[in-house]
């Protein structure tokens, strides 16, 4: 399970910067470049409504196996076909396959973990994906040996990971309690009612990941950095998240994920603000992106754990699907907004828009946390 998640991370970490650099060198505008990057996340949105019932009926393994195979085939087809819109369709197919794979693995982890170990187990899942995602941009740099090279290597690695999953035994999500809400729509409504605040974290992670891997290469090329420097810079965020992924997961089990996420978004906004003023110093920028990854790079896994805290177990499949949708919405919004920002706001650093986003989310979490803390004494007084 860990191997297929890690290798999925490699394919995603490679795909965004590799295609962004190829299109930039071909003279395609940053806004079209950003729009193209949304293909994978549109695929996530398209498949999401159709995953819950098949997973309950057939189990989680078939979802993972079929999704993994779609990713392998799509990556290989990048080496055989070359067209803006065909590549967009392949990105969409990878989004469908990747989401099937991740919904299956996330549900497997969150439904089997003990409550006191949710943070740690989800963090290990995030760390395995992060390891792959950190290696992806290094693989993207092999584009200098030929346009097909990163896609071919990635498809082979994904095939190996897919083969390792085949011997695993199937498992099913918890069904008890689901009879209370027979329709998927009612379950999604319940998830949004109970856990909307937790869904903000995967939304922000998707937006950050897509902006840093799709827009940052374009911004960096325009500020004079080489492809080699960019390929070394991009993994800094993912590497930073790996350093603190498990420690933050353990801390969240102890101190609460809502409180920890509030501090994470606040501190990371300050770090990106510093990056906006110091982005012309390469090694300082590398260090700040590394630090940002250490602080906010775990927000997806923390959001997933927070959702597990807020929902009854029978709602976890729907919750995991909505986490994927939130991640996808962020990933679609990010490259478009980032591309438009780079194209039209030339006198201000690209990192300012990230700072504003994180500041707004930190404010939402702070207000929500304060209301929760005020509600607890009020309930106690009523007794």
Give, for 282, the enclosing helix (H) or strand (E): helix 282-296
Output the CA–CA distances (angstroms, integers) from residue 366 to 266, 268, 295, 299, 353, in the order listed. Answer: 9, 14, 17, 15, 20
Residue 133 in any domain: the answer is yes
- CATH number of the domain where residue 314 is located: 1.20.1250.20
Residue 120 in any domain: the answer is yes
Confidence of residue 383 (pLDDT cuts 50, 70, 90): very low
The top-scoring range by mean pLDDT among 166-180, 198-212, 233-247 is 198-212
Taking only the tens place, the pLDDT of each residue in 62-90 is: 999 999 999 999 999 998 888 889 999 99
Q: 376 or 45: which carries more pLDDT confidence?
A: 45
Residue 175 in any domain: the answer is no
Residue 300 in any domain: the answer is yes
Residue 178 in any domain: the answer is no
What one-character-per-residue DSSP string does 124-166 give? HHHHHHHHHHHHHHHHHGGGGG-TTHHHHHHHHHHHHHHHHHT
Residue 16 in any domain: the answer is yes
Give, for 38, the enclosing helix (H) or strand (E): none
Residue 192 in any domain: the answer is yes
For residue 211, the enclosing domain spans: 2-165+184-382
Taking only the tens place, the pLDDT of each residue in 340-368 is: 888 888 778 889 989 999 999 999 999 98
How many domains are there within the chain?
Answer: 1
> What distance in Å separates the CA atoms of residue 197 and residue 279, rounded to the nearest whole number?
32
Q: What's the mean per-residue pLDDT of the chain?
A: 84
- For the packed helices 84-112 and 39-47, what is the interaxial angle rounded to 10 degrees? 50
- Position 50 scores a pLDDT of 86
Confidence of residue 270 (pLDDT cuts 50, 70, 90): very high
Output the CA–CA distances (angstroms, integers) from residue 271 to 6, 240, 268, 285, in the order listed. Answer: 27, 13, 5, 10
Residue 268 has pLDDT above 90, yes or no: yes
Residue 172 in any domain: the answer is no
Query: What is the average pLDDT across 87-107?
Result: 89
């Amino acid at each position: 399970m860990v191997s297929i998640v890690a290798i999925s991370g490699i394919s995603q970490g490679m795909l965004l910067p590799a295609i962004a650099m190829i299109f930039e060198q071909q003279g395609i505008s940053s806004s079209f470049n950003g729009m193209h990057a949304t293909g994978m996340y549109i695929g996530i949105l398209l498949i999401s409504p159709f995953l819950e019932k098949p997973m309950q009926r057939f189990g989680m393994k078939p979802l993972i196996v079929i999704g993994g195979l779609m990713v392998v085939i799509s990556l290989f087809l990048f080496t055989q076909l070359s067209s803006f819109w065909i590549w967009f369709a392949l990105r969409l197919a990878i989004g469908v396959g990747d989401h099937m794979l991740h919904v299956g693995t996330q549900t497997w982890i969150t439904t089997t973990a003990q409550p006191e170990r949710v943070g740690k187990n989800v963090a290990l899942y995030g760390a395995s994906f992060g390891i792959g995602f950190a290696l992806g941009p290094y693989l993207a740099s092999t584009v200098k040996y030929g346009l097909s090279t990163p896609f071919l290597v990635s498809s082979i690695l994904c095939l190996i990971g897919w083969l390792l999953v085949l011997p695993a035994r199937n498992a099913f999500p918890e069904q008890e309690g689901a009879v209370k809400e027979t329709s998927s729509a009612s379950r999604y409504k319940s998830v949004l009612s109970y856990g909307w605040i937790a869904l903000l974290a995967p939304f922000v992670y998707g937006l950050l990941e897509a902006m840093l891997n799709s827009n940052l290469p374009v911004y960096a090329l325009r500020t004079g950095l080489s492809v080699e420097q960019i390929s070394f810079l991009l993994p800094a965020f993912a590497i930073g998240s790996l350093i603190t992924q498990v420690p933050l997961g353990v801390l969240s089990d102890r101190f609460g994920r809502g409180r920890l996420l509030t501090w994470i978004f606040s501190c990371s906004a300050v770090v990106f603000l510093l990056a906006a003023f110091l982005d012309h110093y390469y090694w300082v920028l590398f260090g700040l992106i590394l630090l940002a990854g250490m602080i906010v790079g775990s927000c997806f896994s923390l959001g997933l754990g927070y959702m597990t805290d807020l929902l009854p177990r029978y709602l976890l499949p729907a919750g995991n699907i909505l986490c994927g949708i939130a991640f996808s919405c962020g990933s679609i919004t990010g490259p478009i907004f980032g591309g438009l920002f780079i194209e039209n706001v030339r006198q201000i650093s690209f990192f300012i828009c990230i700072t504003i986003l994180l500041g707004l989310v930190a404010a939402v979490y702070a207000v929500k946390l304060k209301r929760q803390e005020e509600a607890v004494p009020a309930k106690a007084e009523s007794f």
